[in-house]
Amino acid sequence: MTALDFKGRAARAMHDPQLSAALLRVKSHFVTGRNMAAARFADFETLRDRAAAIRRRSIARMPDLLERFEASAEAAGAKVHWAADAAEARSIALGILKAAGAKTALKSKSMVTEEIELNAYLEAAGIQPIETDLGEYIVQLRGEKPSHIIAPAIHLSKQDVADTFRSHHTDLDPERDLSQRNTLVREARVKLRAAFLSADAGITGANMLVAETGSIVLVSNEGNIDLTATAPRLHVALVGIEKVVETWDEAGTILRVLARSATGQDMSSYVTCLTGVAGEGETGPKESHIILLDNGRSAVRDTDRREILACIRCGACLNHCPVYASIGGHAYGSIYPGPMGSVLSPAIDGLKAHADLPNASTLCGRCEEVCPVRIPLPKLLRHWREDGFARHLPPRGERVGLGLWSWMAGRPLAYGLSQRLARLGLRTLAWMQGGRVRRLPVVKGFTATRTIAPPKGGSFQARWKGPR
Amino acid sequence: MSASPTAALFVTCLVDLMRPEVGFAAARLIERAGFQVVVPRQGCCGQPNYNAGDREGARKLARAAIAALEPFDIIVVPSGSCGGMLAKHYPELFEASDPWAQRAIAVAGRVQELTQFLAAHPLPETGKLPAGRVAYHDSCSSLREMRVHDEPRALLAAHTDAELCKLREAETCCGFGGLFCVKYPDISAHMARDKCDAIVESGAEMVVSGDLGCLLNIEGTLDKRGSAIRVRHIAEVLAGDA
Amino acid sequence: MSSRAAILARLRAQASAGPSAAAQPPYRPTPVDDLGARLLERAKTVLATGEAVASLADIPAAVARYLASHELAAEAAVAADLAGLSWAASGICVLDAPSRRSVPASVAFAPAAIAETGSLMLTSREAPWANLLADTHFAVVRRGDILPSLEEAVGRIGGNRLPRSLHVVTGPSRTGDIEQTLELGAHGAVRLHIFVAP
Predicted pLDDT at A90: 98
Chain A partners (3+ C-beta pairs within 8 A): B, C
Q: Which tens digit of pLDDT belongs to each residue from A337-388?
A: 999 999 999 999 999 999 999 999 999 999 999 999 999 999 999 999 999 9
Name which of B190, B193, B230 to mutate to probe chain A: the one with the most chain A Cβ atoms within 10 A of its Cβ.
B190
Tell me: pLDDT of C129 over 90. Answer: no
Tell me: pLDDT of C35 over 90. Answer: yes
Residue A159 pLDDT level (bands cut at 50, 70, 90):
very high
Q: Which tens digit of pLDDT belongs to each residue from C172-196?
A: 999 999 999 999 999 999 999 999 9
Contact C39, C33 (CB under 8 A): no
| Average pLDDT value over all residues in chain A | 95
Chain B residues with CB-CB distance to A457 below 8 A: 20
Mean pLDDT of A44-55: 97
Predicted pLDDT at A1: 43
Q: Which tens digit of pLDDT belongs to each residue from A212-245?
A: 999 999 999 999 999 999 999 999 999 999 999 9
Number of H helices, E strands in chain A: 22, 10
Domains of chain A, residue spans: 41-295, 404-463
Tell me: pLDDT of A413 over 60. Answer: yes
Tell me: pLDDT of B2 over 70. Answer: no
Tell me: pLDDT of A304 over 60. Answer: yes
- Amino acid identity, residue C52? A
* Cα distances (angstroms) measured from residue B19 to each of A298, A430, A457, A465: 49, 15, 9, 17
Mean pLDDT of C15-42: 88
Tell me: pLDDT of A3 over 60. Answer: no
Residue A406 touches chain B, beta carbons under 8 Å: yes
Predicted pLDDT at A28: 83
Tell me: pLDDT of A124 over 70. Answer: yes
Q: Map out the domains of chain C with their CATH numbers.
A: 32-197 (3.40.50.10420)
Q: What are phi and psi of B9, to 5 degrees?
A: -105, 115
Chain C residues with CB-CB distance to A223 below 8 A: 132, 169, 173, 186-189
Where are any strands of DSSP class E within B89-242? Answer: 111-113, 133-137, 163-164, 206-209, 230-233
Residue C19 pLDDT level (bands cut at 50, 70, 90):
low
Residue A75 touches chain C, beta carbons under 8 Å: no
CATH number at B6-119: 3.40.50
Predicted pLDDT at C128: 79
Residue A413 touches chain B, beta carbons under 8 Å: no
Predicted pLDDT at A468: 42
Contact B131, B236 (CB under 8 A): no
Contact A119, A129 (CB under 8 A): yes
| Average pLDDT value over all residues in chain B | 96
Residue C17 pLDDT level (bands cut at 50, 70, 90):
low
- CATH fold for domain A41-295: Rossmann fold (3.40.50)
Q: Which tens digit of pLDDT belongs to each residue from A127-139?
A: 999 999 999 999 9
Tell me: pLDDT of A449 over 50. Answer: yes
* CATH 3.40.50-classified regions of chain B: 6-119, 127-238
Please state, for a pLDDT cut of 70, what percent of chain B lies above it: 99
- Of 1.10.10, 2.60.120, 3.30.70, 3.40.50, the CATH number of B127-238 is 3.40.50
Handedness of CA C90, C93, C95, C96 (dihedral sign): positive
Mean pLDDT of A96-114: 97
Name which of B56, B137, B179, B186 to mutate to probe chain A: the one with the most chain A Cβ atoms within 10 A of its Cβ.
B186
Tell me: pLDDT of C135 over 70. Answer: yes
Contact C64, C73 (CB under 8 A): no
Q: What are phi and psi of A295, to 5 degrees?
A: 50, 55
Predicted pLDDT at A86: 98
Tell me: pLDDT of C102 over 90. Answer: no
| Average pLDDT value over all residues in chain C | 93
